[in-house]
Structure 1
Amino acid sequence: MIPIIIGLGVTVAALTVKSGINAFARYKHLTPVEIAGFNNIKINFNRPDRNFMTNKGLVDRNLLEKLKQYPGGFLPNMNENEACLILGISNDEIMKLDTKLLKQKHRKCIISNHPDRGGSLYIAMKINRAKEILEKSYLLKR
């Protein structure tokens, strides 16, 4: 009976330590903005004296403005509009979109988000899918 109790105690201790290590690993990758959100702290993004941190450094004010305009998330079925947003193709560039420009935009986007360089595999798949959609699109000048 005593060996069973000791075994259960060691198992519970091991699982507790493992859970703590996993929680800390997730916590390391959170930004201050995300932590504030989890704690129901409202952040005023319009204050000029504040800089916001991400995992890679300070967030640019222009980027924050763009992020506020776009609600985020991906559509269930990607369309040309979402593909242009993903690849960073502006309204002016849509009018002159050809295979060369599409290739440049795709390359720039995939280099900064490639899984081999710490990027997300999911985001890389979305970038590649966006390129495929625009290659078949009527927007592309051939």
Structure 2
Amino acid sequence: MYVRMCTSLEVVTVHFRPSQTTPLIAGFGVAAAALGGKYAIQAFQTLKAAPPRLRRFYDGGFLAEMTRREASLILGVRESASADRIKAAHKRIMTANHPDAGGSSYLAAKINEAKDILTGKKSPGGSAF
């Protein structure tokens, strides 16, 4: 390291060799990674401890016999939703999950079954699968 002394009006010039700056940069990188990891762990623990209603996705698979509650969860509407709202939700979800667009035929069947149950075309109970 080279330091040139100065008077009150001169500029101080400090030269570092690359061998002196490499450990400093590595130290900052390790500190940043540790701090980021700490916040990621805290965020995960907060999300895990959140009540189930605050979670974005439903934890669990399909029931053996679809109920009105499960059908409303699949379509993302209330059990008492209007037919227009049910049809709009069905169209939106089927656009993303249609088998012709690379979606699963099993999920498409479940989405159709959910629409049929909520619109009253099919009674809650048996499943196609």
TM-score of the pair, normalised by structure 1: 0.45
Larger radius of gyration: 2
TM-score of the pair, normalised by structure 2: 0.50
